[in-house]
Amino acid sequence: MQENQVWSAVDHYLINSLQPRNDKMEKLLQNNRENNLPEIDVSPTQGKFLWILAKIMGAKKILEIGTLGGYSTTWLAMALPEDGKIITLENNSSHIKVAKENFETTGVHQKITIMEDNALTSLSKLQKDNIKDFDLIFIDADKPNNPHYIDYAIKLARKGALIIADNIVRNGDIIDKKSEDPKVVGIRHFIDILSNDSRLESVGLQTVGIKGYDGFIISFVK
């Protein structure tokens, strides 16, 4: 069995063993497929990982940069208490339409606000309106802008918050310092910022599974 087949088989085993089937989440993913959204959501295990981190944090206020069809948004929203809120940023009107349908289907719509604009514009508005002190911030959007996103994230996070960035390994391409891929260049710049910012403590985790070979970076705001 090839390596990636083993990763997928293990992922499916862990999902089936530790995560009871959730029909609403299955309908969410099916709705994404029927609307031709790219299948780049976090995996079920990664979604549950985000849920657990939010629970550990006792998060009541979450910011997500990049909504897509709202799969990760829903996992994070399910971790919130009844009075918890998540703000998610998305610029694609088709994605927003599908995400709103999915939030209704999964019953988390009352906890979620979608800011419909370019993410940097929305982040600037949050800062201008003094909407800050987020407990957890999840960065999962266009990678070339990660250096800009982390600048805003630090300013909008509370002391002791977590900032989580997805898709930072890119099948190992991030070690290629000569890469001209804008996504790799953006992530490498992002990592350089994290390594030199005294306000953060960060760790990178490689992941394998049904989404292939990638990883997260988790930063603690000191």
Which residue range(s) make up the domain with 88? Answer: 3-221
How many domains, the chain? Answer: 1
Does the reported pTM lie above 0.85? yes
Residue with token string 């260049």: 185
Return all residues near 45 (Cβ < 8 A) that are at least 6 apart.
11, 14, 15, 19, 209
* pLDDT mean over 186-209: 97
State the pLDDT confidence band at 2, using cuts at 50, 70 and 90: confident
Strands 212-221 and 200-209: antiparallel
Q: Greater confidence, 3 or 99?
A: 99
The answer to whether residue 1 scores a pLDDT higher than 80 is no
| Mean of per-residue pLDDT scores for the chain | 97
The CATH number that applies at residue 47 is: 3.40.50.150
Estimate to the nearest angstrom the gap between the alpha carbon of 154 and the chain centroid.
Answer: 16
Count the Cβ atoms, other than its own, within 10 Å of residue 26. 11
**For residue 146, pLDDT beyond 80:** yes
